[in-house]
Amino acid sequence: MNELPTQKMLTIRDASLRLNRCAEVVRRYVREGKLPAYKLGLMWYVRPEDVEALARKLNSASK
């Protein structure tokens, strides 16, 4: 069984803090496909590198 290494993953809340956005906005990014996420049980997780890539994209779009 392939399980994601959750110790290296971020929760939606962690991602929202890194992106300086509220958690609902991060959930919208997930729904819209802008941020890949993985559901394990009731929790959603995102990879730190995906969050960093989205942060760079958001920063370049705001300039």
**Residue-level pLDDT at 49:** 96
Whether 42 is covered by a domain: the verdict is: yes
Whether 2 is covered by a domain: the verdict is: no
What are the residue ranges in the chain where pLDDT is below 50?
1
Q: How many domains does the chain have?
A: 1
Whether 16 is covered by a domain: the verdict is: yes
**Residue-level pLDDT at 61:** 82
**Residue-level pLDDT at 32:** 97
Whether 37 is covered by a domain: the verdict is: yes
What is the value of pTM for the model shown? Answer: 0.84
C-alpha to C-alpha distances, 22 to 1, 4, 15, 61, nearest whole angstrom: 33, 25, 9, 18
**Residue-level pLDDT at 54:** 97
**Residue-level pLDDT at 1:** 45
**Residue-level pLDDT at 2:** 57
